[in-house]
Amino acid sequence: MENESLFRNRRTVRLYEQRLVADELLEKVLDAARLAPCAANRQRLRYVVARTPEIVSKLLPLTKWAMHVSPHRTPVQGESGPAAFIAVIGPREGNAYIHADAGAAIGYIQLAASCLGLGSCWLASVEREEASAVLGLSVDVELLYLVSVGYPAEKPVLDDNASETAYYLDDAGVLHVRKLPLDVIARWM
Q: Where in 53-72 is the site for a copy of itself (CB under 8 A)?
A: 55, 67-68
CB of 136 to a copy of itself, least distance (A): 7
168 contributes a contact to a copy of itself by CB under 8 A = no
139 contributes a contact to a copy of itself by CB under 8 A = no
Q: How far, in Å, CA of 90 to CA of 60, rounded?
A: 21
108 contributes a contact to a copy of itself by CB under 8 A = yes
Nearer to a copy of itself, 79 or 165 (CB): 165
**Do 136 and 37 touch, CB atoms closer than 8 A?**
no
Residue of 131, 135, 141, 146 interacting with a copy of itself (CB under 8 A): 135
Q: How far, in Å, CA of 187 to CA of 91, rounded?
A: 36
**Do 146 and 59 touch, CB atoms closer than 8 A?**
yes
Q: How far, in Å, CA of 149 to CA of 121, rounded?
A: 7
Residue of 13, 63, 83, 110 interacting with a copy of itself (CB under 8 A): 110
User: Which one of 13-21, 38-46, 70-78 is the stretch in contact with a copy of itself (CB under 8 A)?
Assistant: 38-46
186 contributes a contact to a copy of itself by CB under 8 A = yes
34 contributes a contact to a copy of itself by CB under 8 A = yes
Residue list 10-29, contact with a copy of itself (CB under 8 A): 10, 12, 23, 27-28
User: Which one of 14-22, 72-80, 160-168 is the stretch in contact with a copy of itself (CB under 8 A)?
Assistant: 160-168
Q: How far, in Å, CA of 148 to CA of 29, rounded?
A: 12
> Cis peptide leading into 71, omega within 30 of 0?
yes
Across the beta sheet with 157-159, the strand order is 157-159, 175-178, 168-169
